[in-house]
Chains A and B, each alone.
Chain A
Amino acid sequence: MWLKFKRDWEESESSVTPEALFKQRRNIIKGLGVAGASSLLPVTGHAASWFGSDDDEPAAIVRRALQKTDIAPLHNDALTPESKAISHNNFYEFGTAKDDPAKNSRNFNPTPWSITIDGLVEKPVTLDLDDVMAKMALEQRIYRLRCVEAWSMVIPWVGFSLSDLLKMAKPLSSAKYVAFETLYDPEQMPGQKSRFVGGGIDYPYVEGLRLDEAMNPLSFMAVGMYGKTLPAQNGAPLRLVVPWKYGFKSIKSIVRIRFLDKQPPTTWNLLGPSEYGFYANVNPQVDHPRWSQASERRIDDAGLLGRKRIDTEMFNGYSKQVAHMYKDMDLSRYY
């Protein structure tokens, strides 16, 4: 028989504040803005939230629970709380501030979704995501995510190996690289519509991997996180996860994959070639020209002031799995 003892920090169900009351209080606090002070407000996206953003309105995406097999993690790191992982995002298609993607993606609707795989393949295919998911046995993998901006998270992704997806298209032996492309839909992605919202990037966002990197067992296609399908701001419905590379390589909301014999252009490399390389392997010895990559701010359950920086590890701690692919390369040149 299983008995449940109430621990001393537990509150009874009846003492929980009703949601409606909680939200009402939040709205009162929101309304307390001093009107005159608005002239001092910075001209950032944040100013908009003064005047009541509707972050309480339900998102178009309903996150479904996913059946998965848990894979033992390679590190014993504490998970980043889900609430932080889904409210702190770089996804310029929905705005450049970290809180923009969660706020500006509420109307994003990714169904139905198809992925085209073409280029150097025997037969180009267009796959329906639901069909793909029905064929794959989903796994949960806990990976570190190291952003090039020197913060990091630890996230339980749900998905399948990238190689399993790529094999569906039967690539030719001449294929040496894999190129990925994000959805281009300015109606749904305000950052693609306005340069001011989208940080002046040329869309669609493109990324790429060498074929051996793409086929590495660590390379992962995520359709979910924290046991449920992905929210829009984290790259719904399908995104890449390459844990030994900086986060910008892990392209979101993928609609097209191409096999190529040449290295494909990649968005951040086009924007700042001296700051963002094609490889973008996590490397504490090679600084970003404007900041150190030797340490990182791990986003865990600690508060703002309780956080310590930790040392960044070579290949983000995945050397054993990936270092062999870069054996004879000068990684300060191919950053």
Chain B
Amino acid sequence: MNKRINQYLAKHQWQTRLALHVLLLSPFAYCVAAVLNEWWGGDPVQAIIHYFANSALNILLITLCLAPLSRRFKLPSLLAFRRLIGLYVFAYALLHLAAYLLIDLGLDWGLFWQETIKRPYIWLGMLGFVVLLAMSITSLKKLQTGLGRRWLQLHGFIYPIALLVVIHFWWSLKSGWLEPVIYLAIIGILFFVRKVQIQRWLSSFAK
């Protein structure tokens, strides 16, 4: 069975990619529809900002699932799509940040920098964004081979980033804790499944 899936995915590379693009763009399309049809009420600013953030976080969790899935079910063909999916994490994080700046702060750059400097929960979000940006730039094939071991070190930061953005989310809430705790539980399970890889990543800095 898994052999056939591997063969199918290898044979239908571009079709699979196209399907993934459609799937990963659909949250954005839904957001546009929701705003145009006023499904999120008369002032959807907060809803849009949260929606992009949640989308980024959900896709990030999907990327963390790919390696364990490919190992468990012997599906190495899955890993060919990790870069594509990972770039969408960055895309939604960028939309989240852009929405905050554009429709919440009204493109008031002074206020943007002031808030970025003053608010610890925004530091966490910004740190996550900067690392995702670095990962996206270095996802180019050329840079990947050029950086060697450093590339693996950089991209291993996805583990702390996953935790960091959930804390950023929790910190940003006015009340309640259920949603971030659910995310932390999922991340905990994923970390447990990948504990060997995480240990290897941590020890790569000791050398």
A43 and B43 in contact (CB under 8 A), knowing A305-B102, A307-B103, A309-B106?
A: no
* A148–B37 alpha-carbon span in the complex (Å): 27
| Residue contacts A-B, CB under 8 angstroms, 25 given | A30-B37, A36-B23, A37-B27, A42-B57, A43-B179, A43-B182, A44-B51, A46-B40, A49-B39, A81-B42, A84-B43, A87-B38, A87-B43, A88-B42, A96-B175, A99-B47, A151-B43, A195-B178, A199-B175, A290-B121, A290-B172, A292-B111, A292-B115, A295-B111, A307-B103
- B46 in contact with A42 (CB, 8 Å): no
- B23 in contact with A37 (CB, 8 Å): yes
User: Cβ of A99: which chain B residues have Cβ within 8 Å of it?
Assistant: 39-41, 44, 47
The number of residues on chain A lying at the interface, defined by a beta carbon within 8 Å of a beta carbon of chain B, is: 52
- B37 in contact with A200 (CB, 8 Å): no
* A34–B55 alpha-carbon span in the complex (Å): 15
* A29–B111 alpha-carbon span in the complex (Å): 38
**Residues 281-304 of chain A: 1 if any B CB is under 8 Å from the residue's CB, otherwise 0?**
000000100111011010100001
A304 and B119 in contact (CB under 8 A), knowing A40-B59, A151-B45?
A: no
A199 and B176 in contact (CB under 8 A), knowing A37-B23, A40-B26, A295-B111?
A: yes
Q: Is the CB of A178 closer than 8 A to any CB of chain B?
A: no
Give A53's nearest chain B residue, CB to CB. Answer: B39
User: Cβ of A271: which chain B residues have Cβ within 8 Å of it?
Assistant: 175
Report the minimal beta-carbon distance from A196 to chain B, rounded to whole angstroms. 6
* A247–B105 alpha-carbon span in the complex (Å): 20
User: Cβ of A42: which chain B residues have Cβ within 8 Å of it?
Assistant: 50-51, 54-55, 57-58
User: Cβ of A218: which chain B residues have Cβ within 8 Å of it?
Assistant: none
User: Cβ of B59: which chain A residues have Cβ within 8 Å of it?
Assistant: 40
Specify which of B30, B50, B178 is in contact with A37 (CB 8 Å cutoff).
Answer: B30
User: Cβ of B45: which chain A residues have Cβ within 8 Å of it?
Assistant: 151, 297, 304
User: Cβ of A166: which chain B residues have Cβ within 8 Å of it?
Assistant: none
A297 and B106 in contact (CB under 8 A), knowing A40-B58, A43-B179?
A: yes
User: Cβ of B40: which chain A residues have Cβ within 8 Å of it?
Assistant: 46, 97-99
* A269–B155 alpha-carbon span in the complex (Å): 42
Q: Is the CB of B184 closer than 8 A to any CB of chain A?
A: no
12 additional A-B residue pairs with CB within 8 Å, beyond A98-B43, A200-B178, A272-B174: A33-B30, A37-B30, A40-B26, A40-B58, A42-B54, A46-B39, A87-B43, A88-B41, A98-B47, A290-B171, A299-B42, A309-B105
Q: Is the CB of B154 closer than 8 A to any CB of chain A?
A: no
Report the minimal beta-carbon distance from B162 to chain A, rounded to whole angstroms. 16
Report the minimal beta-carbon distance from B31 to chain A, rounded to whole angstroms. 9
* A179–B51 alpha-carbon span in the complex (Å): 37
User: Cβ of A76: which chain B residues have Cβ within 8 Å of it?
Assistant: none
Specify which of A34, A85, A295, A305 is in contact with B26 (CB 8 Å cutoff).
Answer: A34
- A98 in contact with B111 (CB, 8 Å): no
Report the minimal beta-carbon distance from A186 to chain B, rounded to whole angstroms. 17
Give B24's nearest chain A residue, CB to CB. Answer: A40
Report the minimal beta-carbon distance from B197 to chain A, rounded to whole angstroms. 24
User: Cβ of B54: which chain A residues have Cβ within 8 Å of it?
Assistant: 42-44
Residues of A within 8 A of B (CB): 26, 29-30, 32-34, 36-37, 40-44, 46, 49-50, 81, 83-89, 92, 96-99, 102, 149, 151, 195-196, 199-201, 271-272, 287, 290-292, 294-295, 297, 299, 304-305, 307-309
- A96 in contact with B182 (CB, 8 Å): no
User: Cβ of A96: which chain B residues have Cβ within 8 Å of it?
Assistant: 175-176
- B177 in contact with A200 (CB, 8 Å): yes
- A292 in contact with B30 (CB, 8 Å): no
Q: Is the CB of B34 closer than 8 A to any CB of chain A?
A: yes
Q: Is the CB of B97 closer than 8 A to any CB of chain A?
A: no
Give B175's nearest chain A residue, CB to CB. Answer: A199
Specify which of A29, A41, A88, A309 is in contact with B33 (CB 8 Å cutoff).
Answer: A29
Report the minimal beta-carbon distance from B167 to chain A, rounded to whole angstroms. 14
- B115 in contact with A29 (CB, 8 Å): no
Q: Which of B147-183 contact A (CB under 8 A)?
A: 171-172, 174-179, 182
User: Cβ of A32: which chain B residues have Cβ within 8 Å of it?
Assistant: 33
Report the minimal beta-carbon distance from A282 to chain B, rounded to whole angstroms. 18
Report the minimal beta-carbon distance from B74 to chain A, rounded to whole angstroms. 23
* A199–B43 alpha-carbon span in the complex (Å): 20
Give A198's nearest chain B residue, CB to CB. Answer: B176
Q: Is the CB of B126 closer than 8 A to any CB of chain A?
A: no
Most buried by A among B37, B40, B174: B174
- A291 in contact with B119 (CB, 8 Å): yes
User: Cβ of B43: which chain A residues have Cβ within 8 Å of it?
Assistant: 84, 87-88, 98, 151, 299
User: Cβ of B102: which chain A residues have Cβ within 8 Å of it?
Assistant: 305
Report the minimal beta-carbon distance from B171 to chain A, rounded to whole angstroms. 8
* A198–B128 alpha-carbon span in the complex (Å): 29
A46 and B47 in contact (CB under 8 A), knowing A34-B26, A297-B104?
A: yes
